[in-house]
Amino acid sequence: MGDETVTTTIDEETLVETTDPAPVEVESADQEDPYLWLEEIEGEAALAQVKEWNAETEAKLADVPGVEERAERARKILNDPNRLVTGSVIGDKVLNHWQDENNKRGLWRIADLDDYLAGDPEWTTLIDVDALSEEEGEAWVWHGANCLAPAYERCLVSLSPGGSDADIMREFDLTTGTWVEDGFMVPLGKSSVAWVDEDTLLVAKDEGGDSLTESGYPRTAKLWTRGTDWSEARQILDVEREQVWLFPTALMDGDKRWIFLQSGPDFFNQDRFVLVDGEPVKLDLPQSVEPQGVLDGQYIATLVDPLGDFRTGDLVSWDLEALARGETPAPKLVMRPTASQAVDSVATTDNKLWITALDDVSGKLFILDHGEDGWTAPGVIDLPDNSTLGFAAASGKRDVALVTVSSMLQPTTLYAVGSDGSTTTVQQLPEQFDASNMSVTQHFATSKDGTRIPYFLVRRNDVTEPTGTLIHAYGGFRAPSLPQYLVSEPSRSGPLALFWVESGGAYVLANIRGGGEYGPAWHEAALREKRQNSFDDLAAVAEDLIARGVARADGVAISGRSNGGVLTGAGITQRPDLYRAAIIGAPLFDMKRYHKLLAGASWVGEYGNPDDPADWAFMKEYSPYQNIKPGVEYPATFWYLSTKDDRVHPGHARKGAARLEAYGNDVYYRENLEGGHSVSTDQEANAVRAALEWAFMMKEVGTTAPE
């Protein structure tokens, strides 16, 4: 579809609202964006184009040998009843949301904790989401439940229409298994709610007018008492529209409930408040700290910036009672990671602090106590090496952590870890593929500035010649990319990586800067004006694979989702000579307009503000959409996303695909009409997409070395 054939259905008023306020300092073709009409999410012309692209993609890939067989195999993998059963521990019970081919939207169910830990739970269904959707005529997607501790008798259940970030909340009675008549109900929106007590909520919700921040989140929090109209709720805190959000939450320290609020100027710098006698008290903490939990009266956080004698990446704690009095207590060191380590996640039980740390991107589990003399030295728990660890849940009074352990070639095992460090296997998944002829190794590439960039490589042992290679990466928001069993990577694409390796290709997970693999400093190294480092890291990994004889020089593909869309977009526009293809999911792509679209304004701290000439000076160098030029042959692209994504606007992908196609490049496109930023909660759609992406890779890259 060339520029000259585009017609817009956007009316004049909408055009005025979505046109850039100042000229973009790029080539003249960008002065007036011919694809603004594709930003109209549910626009008739835009959806017609989406459906046309979807049909074209399926038609182009339908004749790739093996695509139907892989779609069927993906269905079996994604609907395998032997999947890991995880959930939330509430007292002596476990809650779980379960999906399979007969329950596509899922069952919310409950079982006894003892039976669950013994590996033999008997589940009782609380809510059948499929049945509820049919009954109410709404495509509900499960968004979780917030249950009031320590009694756990009442829960606020969150349901989203179609899978968007916006949801409704309804009160549910666990003792009767029914909705609470005339109970709390928070209408559709990007709301956040904390239980204060059985009859009181702290709510931040969309109230219309100017009640939202520029990022589209609530900016006012109110105390709402049971049995009263919302108009009677008492305002607790109100922040300026320029703030990202106002977000209430509750944390338990044993049986003591602490209610917090946070708000700040960007995604990474937040003011924090604690509710004392119904009034907010601002905590005297650096805005940049990363809160991790509360235990034994200690407020625990990771330092992003140095503080006195403490270093970036240190885990520290403050006396919370003193903070709540408005005082400035001295912090205590909880744990100092080594140069190769980073704190990954933290969990608390009534008496123990649990820490998963990354050590050259491999997981380790530590357990600590707090007493009058401070924190004990971290004790290392004996779990399999070279694995990815994650907290599935924690049982407070029992001081037991439920920890998942997985790797690329080993299925996930769920362990119950006791306060004494003992481990018991709760569930061990069976193998879903034959890995006997596969190996996984870790390597390091050297980036442009000399930084060592780790990556994991998986391939068949009998593939000794250079082959087609798929590199998946993220590189943003302090989020590490960790190795997972091949049926679940790359990001939400199901078994694509498995299919690719089985076909003779090489699959790579690259730990580029911008993530959290080595703590806050690894993120800082690719923040804002330093973003180019992440693109250079990706290129360095690709070049290292070619130099090692793993990848064909003409056979490197890249994959990324969300922030990874900026990454893959910059990759194909900066190095079309290096990459053969790209899989681009739910992407940010037009960095000139990203802050005007849906939740984009909340990420200015990550990327910069394109309305600021100083920021646009470095952003325009990599913004993928503005850097697509006529006369350049770009790698083939496969786009996947959801119309219902209300976090990253679907216009990013639509406009990128349209411009590439207009300039004569190969474009494959698949947009689900529901699913939110997760793209799809429908395993059927995920299975088909995994097969189509494999077919795309086989058609555009191939796995065998040329003669």
pLDDT at 642: 93
pLDDT at 492: 53
SS (H, E, C) 366-409: EEECEECCEECCCEECCCCCCCEEEEEEEECCCCEEEEEEECCC
Domain closes at, from 324, 339, 354: 339
Q: How far apart are CA 197 and CA 692, in angstroms?
A: 49
pLDDT at 679: 59
pLDDT at 22: 32
Q: Give the pLDDT confidence of 237-263 residue by residue, as tens digits.
A: 999 999 999 999 999 999 999 999 999
Q: Give the pLDDT confidence of 624-638 residue by residue, as tens digits.
A: 999 999 999 999 999
Q: Could you tell me the pLDDT band of residue 82, with boundaries at 50, 70 and 90?
A: confident
β pairing state of 315-319 and 332-335: antiparallel
Q: Name 506's bridge partners.
A: 469
pLDDT at 29: 39
Within-domain flag for 351: no
Indicate whether 665 and 696 sit together in one domain.
yes
pLDDT at 705: 52
| Residue 28, pLDDT above cutoff 80 | no
Q: What is the pTM of this model?
A: 0.90
Indicate whether 58 and 199 sit together in one domain.
no
Indicate whether 62 and 113 sit together in one domain.
no
Domain closes at, from 317, 339, 361: 339
Q: How far apart are CA 36 and CA 21, in angstroms?
A: 14
pLDDT at 443: 98
Q: Which of 263, 395, 562, 602 is catalytic?
A: 562
The token pair that represents 219 in the structure block = 């900016």
β pairing state of 506-510 and 467-472: parallel
Alpha-carbon distances, residue 327 vs 260, 318, 321 (angstroms): 16, 11, 9
Q: Give the pLDDT confidence of 360-370 residue by residue, as tens digits.
A: 999 999 999 99
How much is the average pLDDT of 398-406?
97
| Residue 395, pLDDT above cutoff 80 | yes
Q: Give the pLDDT confidence of 169-181 residue by residue, as tens digits.
A: 999 999 999 999 9
595 labelled catalytic: no
Indicate whether 63 and 148 sit together in one domain.
no
Work out the widest C-alpha separation in the chain, in whole angstroms: 76
Indicate whether 70 and 99 sit together in one domain.
no
Q: How far apart are CA 319 and CA 337, in angstroms?
A: 22
Q: Which of 534, 649, 677, 678 is catalytic?
A: 677
The region of weakest confidence among 95-104, 127-136, 274-283 is 95-104
Q: How far apart are CA 439 and CA 460, in angstroms?
A: 6
Within-domain flag for 381: no
How much is the average pLDDT of 189-199?
96
- Rounded to 10°, the helix 683-700/67-78 angle is 140
How much is the average pLDDT of 286-297?
97
Within-domain flag for 392: no
Q: Which residue has the higher pLDDT, 673 or 146?
A: 146
Q: How far apart are CA 537 and CA 524, in angstroms?
A: 14
pLDDT at 14: 27
How much is the average pLDDT of 257-280?
95
Q: Give the pLDDT confidence of 628-681 residue by residue, as tens digits.
A: 999 999 999 999 999 998 899 999 999 999 999 999 999 999 999 877 776 566
- Using a pLDDT cut of 90, give the percent of the chain over it: 89
How much is the average pLDDT of 485-504?
83
493 labelled catalytic: no
Indicate whether 67 and 89 sit together in one domain.
no
Q: Could you tell me the pLDDT band of residue 35, with boundaries at 50, 70 and 90?
A: very high
Q: Which domain holds residue 272?
A: 82-339
Q: Give the pLDDT confidence of 205-234 residue by residue, as tens digits.
A: 999 999 999 999 999 999 999 999 999 999
CA dihedral (568, 569, 575, 579) positive or negative? positive
Indicate whether 116 and 57 sit together in one domain.
no
Alpha-carbon distances, residue 459 vs 431, 436, 553 (angstroms): 17, 11, 17
Cis peptide before 490 (omega within 30 of 0): yes
Indicate whether 187 and 91 sit together in one domain.
yes
| Residue 11, pLDDT above cutoff 90 | no
Within-domain flag for 375: no
Within-domain flag for 253: yes
| Rg, Å, the chain Cα set | 25
Indicate whether 97 and 150 sit together in one domain.
yes
| Residue 44, pLDDT above cutoff 60 | yes
Q: Could you tell me the pLDDT band of residue 21, with boundaries at 50, 70 and 90?
A: very low
pLDDT at 674: 76
Q: How far apart are CA 560 and CA 582, in angstroms?
A: 8
Decide if 262 contacts 281 (C-beta within 8 A): no
pLDDT at 162: 85
pLDDT at 646: 87
The DSSP annotation for 80-135 comes to: -TTS----EEETTEEEEEEEETTEEEEEEEEEEHHHHHTT----EEEEEHHHHHHH
Indicate whether 487 and 524 sit together in one domain.
yes
Residue 535, SS3?
A: helix
How much is the average pLDDT of 317-326?
98
Within-domain flag for 366: no
Q: Between the ranges 13-27, 194-208, 693-707, where is the mean pLDDT highest?
A: 194-208
How much is the average pLDDT of 325-333?
97
Within-domain flag for 104: yes
Within-domain flag for 429: no
How much is the average pLDDT of 467-485?
96
Indicate whether 89 and 181 sit together in one domain.
yes
SS (H, E, C) 562-609: CHHHHHHHHHHHHCCCCCCEEEEECCCCCCCCHHHCHHHHHHHHHHCC
Domains of the chain: total: 2
Q: Left (φ > 0), alpha (ψ -120 to 50) or beta: where does 209 sit?
A: left
Kindly report the CATH number assigned to the domain that includes residue 120. 2.130.10.120
Decide if 621 contacts 532 (C-beta within 8 A): yes
Domain closes at, from 322, 339, 356: 339
Contacts of 189 (CB under 8 A, 6+ apart): 166, 167, 205, 206, 218
- Rounded to 10°, the helix 563-574/532-547 angle is 60
Indicate whether 67 and 208 sit together in one domain.
no
Kindly report the CATH number assigned to the domain that includes residue 524. 3.40.50.1820
Closest CA to 447 of 529, 359, 512, 361: 512
Closest CA to 615 of 632, 603, 627, 625: 603
